[in-house]
Amino acid sequence: MGVKRVGELLIEQGLITQEQLSEALDLQKVFPDQPVGQLLCKLGFIKESDLSFVLDNKNKRPKLADILLAAGVLDQQKLTHAREVAKQGNITLERALLKLRYVEDEALSKAIAGQYDMPFVQVKVPDLDLGLSRYISAVYAQKQRIAPISKIGNTLTLAMVQPLKAHDLRELEDSIRLKIISAIATETSISESLKRLYNIDSFSTASASDEVNLDIVPDSIVDLLSKSSNGDEPDIEEETKKVTEKDSVIVKLVNKIIYDAYMKKASDIHIEPYPGKKDVVVRTRVDGHCSVYQKIPYKYKFALPSRIKIMADLDIAERRKPQDGKIEFKKFGPLDIELRVATMPTVGGLEDVVMRLLASGDPIGFSDLGLTERNLRVFKESLNSPHGLVLVVGPTGSGKTTTLHSGLALINQASRKIWTAEDPVEITQAGLRQVQVNPRIGFTFAAALRSFLRLDPDVIMVGEMRDEETASTAVEASLTGHLVFSTLHTNSSTETITRLLEMGLDPYSFSDSLLCVLAQRLARRLCADCRESYFPSDEEFNELIDEYGRDEFAGTGLGIADVTLFRGVGCDRCGHTGYRGRLGIYEVLECTPALKALIKRRSDSDHIKSQAALDGMRTLKQDGILKVLHGLTDILEVRRVCIK
């Protein structure tokens, strides 16, 4: 069944006749830009309120985004970004578009007017009659973001940011005993009108998230820095005293740095002050790549760390030793994120600060990890095993915790009791009993693991095997009927086995408990908006084959004619880097009977690697090259993260 047009709906509702619709359609040939509904109103066949009711109830209004796109005011790339900002900041799309400066205030208001078939007005604020304020109360005007701008006879014209609902409009007409004509005006002009009519400075009834966003987003770093006067080299004590919760420039500056880092999906923020009159360098790490975000005048070199320490409840007077803490940013801004803060004294009585953004959220879907068919099968079989040891290994920041939580989400059922010990707890899941360890008070991973065994667990996750005690306890737990997950900082799956044996684990117990080892890296993904395809040269193709291994590559059945590679060009969406987002590169070692025999004999990593290859394991680099052939990344990224 096709979608009904507006005219058909109006006929169905008995609001117009077929003849009236035909007349409006004829008139539309003369005025092609005018909607049929608006022409029916101008011809006097239907009331605007009736048309509005039908359009709203039948979802027949054009979408604001479509209007802006059609008018050429906005492009799809900026619209997508604005929607992301609106979702992450919990604000409206209109607010996001304004804060990002993608759309001018007037252009947005005109689009809203077109969307609702309403006139757009330019309010002449200085000419407003102050007597108009008696018709609408200040509280109601504030709440609804409306302003009376003229009265002729018994008709009052109301300017508004967004159209009032028909029900509210009728109630207001009954209350003031006047007929109301609605018009759309810019938010700025409404704000100025309210200030003139009621002496109101702003919309105090705006939502908390909107207000905070207004405080953070509109000012660029340059705007914020320009608000502070220039001065000489500051004294430490004098500058520290200036930093309070109410120091607006410093507060906004730190909030802006954190907000921008979050919007760029950065994992870390580095504040780096230098002695003398050198600028403070602020760097952010995005997709594993560190780059300079902003240089801030030297006068802030004491204020910035002090403000961050205040937010993290650290001692701002202590600048001689490292400190660490946490910031719950929702207390200071619109984002519900946690930041782990670490300070470090540097030369000249200064302090570096590094903040890691811990964006709490749901785990990534298991099918979205990007595992190949064989790796997915082995990992899934291990997850569904009733007992045993599953290890995920790789350097810091390689996504080990994310992978483990995705696996846990797959088996997280009411019939299974799952305990996790983490440092810190970054990803939360309903159904898991999650514990944060605290080595300062002796509550280590090993201590947590021992305690878990007295709590009737089915599945245990230990954040990291940092010592022989934790590793031994984990092996014992896996042999006594528990499924145990953990991580380790090793370069490959085969090295993991030799590392644990060198730690002092019993090879017989370890081989019996081990199910699989998943090694991983994170490589930058090519930007989907600007990547371009190309056919590799013979030399480039042969290099790929040599790196993959000629014998193994022959098994893929691919030739140079079958291969199309991609490279990043650079655009606004990816910051002209050619990369946006990251993907996992994996190496999954399955603990087969043949491999168990090698572990019991304490074989070296080369023998273990050869047996794992016979069992079907692809190395990290081989998995990365397959992802290059699928156009997900490029060989430069694979070489960067896979050192062997």
Question: Is the Cβ–Cβ distance between 516 and 483 less than 8 Å?
Answer: no
* H helix intervals, 356-480: 373-383, 400-411, 445-452, 468-479
The reported pLDDT for the residue numbered 60 is 57
The reported pLDDT for the residue numbered 236 is 54
The reported pLDDT for the residue numbered 358 is 79
pLDDT less than 50: residues of the chain: 1-3, 203-218, 229, 240-241, 243-245
Residue of 376, 468, 383 lying closest to 418 (CA atoms) = 383
> In terms of DSSP bridges, do strands 432-436 and 323-328 run parallel, antiparallel, or are they unpaired?
unpaired
Separation CA 390–CA 38 (nearest Å) = 66
The reported pLDDT for the residue numbered 382 is 93
The reported pLDDT for the residue numbered 240 is 47
Burial (CB count within 10 angstroms: exposed 0-12, middle 13-18, buried 19+), residue 581: middle
The reported pLDDT for the residue numbered 245 is 43
Cα-based torsion angle of the residue sequence 362, 368, 374, 379 in order, rounded to the nearest 10 degrees? 0
Separation CA 325–CA 339 (nearest Å) = 9
Separation CA 452–CA 364 (nearest Å) = 26
3-state secondary structure of 106: helix
Q: What is the pLDDT of residues 529-560, one digit of tens each?
A: 889 988 888 888 888 888 888 888 887 777 77
Give the count of beta carbons closer than 10 Å to the beta carbon of residue 58: 15
Q: C-alpha angle with apex 245: 336 to 219, nearest 5 degrees?
A: 65
pTM summary value: 0.63
Q: What is the DSSP letter of 93?
A: H
Give the Å distances, CA to CA, from 143 to 122, 177, 184, 400: 21, 20, 16, 48
The reported pLDDT for the residue numbered 233 is 54
H-run or E-run covering 79: helix 76-89
Most distant pair of Cα atoms in the chain: their distance: 100
The reported pLDDT for the residue numbered 137 is 83
The reported pLDDT for the residue numbered 26 is 80
Give just the sign of the alpha carbon dihedral 351, 464, 414, 409: positive
